Structure 1
Amino acid sequence: MLVARVREFDTEAVAGSAMELFWTRGYEATSVRDLTEHLGIGQGSLYAAFGSKEGLYRAALEHYRTRLAGDALRELDGGTDIREVVRELLLGRVRVAVQAGGRGCLFVNAAAERLPGDAATRRAVSDAFRASQAALTEVLTVAAARGEISRRHDPRTLAEFLVTFLNGLLVSSKVTPDAGAFHAVVEVAVGALD
């Protein structure tokens, strides 16, 4: 009688550790051997759990989305002054990118490294960007209804602008890993709410 072998590791924890390695090195520069050594699991176990290096990469992107990017979106619900909420969202994400050793944002890095050729990565990045835009649209719609921001721009358009601006800011933070250097340009973006 065959007995199925029980997986001896937590796949979520492995995805989190792999996320750190992919975030630091990028997809192409991370080999399967690098992953197995870093994660402390065998190649067979990696393939059994994730199917491939690409499967582990997708799991790492999802881990990033639910753990790190999700934190930024949850902060949108906590603020009362919409300008301060947007300002802190933008500067906060830059601080995280800079504090992470200048690694930037894993989604922005994935887009730059893997697109346009990798359809699965395109979906993951696109889903994350859409989730950010939807959350911002919701907050900005409420702020517009309350008269807290100008109605000269549609909240959805403002949200798309802010997400696009943030992505550019995250790329720039890799070039200039100093969060304080971006205060003035963030104020220009916050001015779009007036």
Structure 2
Amino acid sequence: MSRVKEFDVDETCDAALALFRRQGYEATSVSDLVTHLGVAKASLYATFGTKHDFYVTALKRYAERTDSRVVAELSGPGSGVAAVRRLFDGYRAEILGDETRMGCFVVNAAIELLPHDPEVARLVERSWDTLEVALTMALERARSQGELPDDSDPATLARFLLTVLQGLRVLGKSADATSRLDAAISQAMRLIQD
């Protein structure tokens, strides 16, 4: 007869995600996970595998949630430029509202583990590709709506905006990033609104 899990797998994964996001991969030990999650080491290994497997599971979970929200934001009806503006405003609000300055888990993973961890690199690249494609589609919509010049290149603009958005996430980890965030967002929007 199989044993029933004595913990909620989804809640435990979310709690591990928050711990990894706050402390990083290297600084989070298996003992930290056991203590923070209140789950025996053997149960964690049986359910999630190694610490690295658990980290990858948490990162996938975070990326899927974040990416689906961003795609929905950028692919909705209406102005493509307004959708991009809403995305930038949302990033700004999220960054400045994060009093712990944990930052974006995808960006944190990239900074800590790339290029030496191929599995994490694939997840990070997939997340960035998703954002870049969603931005490209919003900018193509903006061009077809006459918000961008006919000779503009939505794919190149999207790659630039992706870089700015990820840079905002990094800058947001500092104690007083408001003026830098505002200046970068203003310049990026000026580029697509002129």
TM-score normalised to the size of structure 1?
A: 0.89
Q: In structure 1, list runs of 5 or more residues that go unmatched.
A: none
- Superposed CA deviations along residues 70-105 of structure 1, whole A, max 9, x for unmatched, are 323322234633333222212321321332221221
Distance 2:17 2:83 in 1: 27
Which position in structure 1 is the counterpart of 2:83? 85
1:65, 1:34 → 2: CA distance? 23
Tell me how far 1:49 sits from its aligned partner: 1.0
Task: Give the number of equivalent residue pairs.
Answer: 192
SS at match of 1:41: coil
Cα-to-partner distance string for 1:30-50 (whole Å, 9 max, x where unaligned):
111111111111111111111
Aligned partner of 2:149 in structure 1 is 150
Q: Does 1:167 align with 2:144?
A: no
Report runs of 4+ in structure 1 exceeding 6 Å deviation. Answer: none
Q: Which moved more, 1:140-149 or 1:103-112?
A: 140-149
* Equivalent-residue separation in structure 1 for 2:131 and 2:27 (angstroms): 28
Rounded Cα–Cα distance in structure 2 between residues aligned with 1:188 and 1:79: 25
Whether the 8 Å contact between 2:143 and 2:152 is mirrored in structure 1 is: no
Q: Is 1:63–2:61 an aligned residue pair?
A: yes
Deviates more, 1:108-117 or 1:61-70: 61-70
- Counterparts of 1:97 and 1:73, CA distance in 2: 19
User: Contact 1:91/1:179 (CA < 8 Å) preserved in 2?
Assistant: no
Residue 19 of structure 1 is matched in structure 2 by 17
SS in 2 for 1:85: helix
Cα offset, 1:68, TM superposition: 3.3
What are the Cα deviations for residues 104-131 of structure 1, in whole angstroms up to 9, with x where unaligned? 2111111010111111110110110001
Question: 1:117-155 deviations in whole A, cap 9, x for unaligned?
Answer: 111110110110001111111111122112121234311
The equivalent residue for 1:48 is 46
Structure 1 position 102 matched with structure 2 position 101: yes
> Percent sequence identity over matched residues?
39
Q: 1:177 to 1:151 in 2, by over 3 A?
A: farther
Structure 2 residue aligned with 1:125: 124
Query: Bigger CA drift: 77-86 or 38-47?
Result: 77-86
2:75 aligned counterpart, secondary structure = coil
CA contact (8 A) 1:91 1:182 kept: no
Unaligned runs of 5+ residues in structure 2 are none
Kept in 1: contact 2:67–2:130 (CA 8 A): no
Task: Work out whether 1:115 is the aligned partner of 2:110.
Answer: no
- Give the SS at the match of 2:7: coil
| TM-fit CA distance, 1:185 | 1.9
Distance in 1 (alpha carbons) for counterparts of 2:175 and 2:83? 23
CA distance in 2, matches of 1:115, 1:65: 16
CA 1:87–1:176: 2 relative to 1, 3 Å: farther
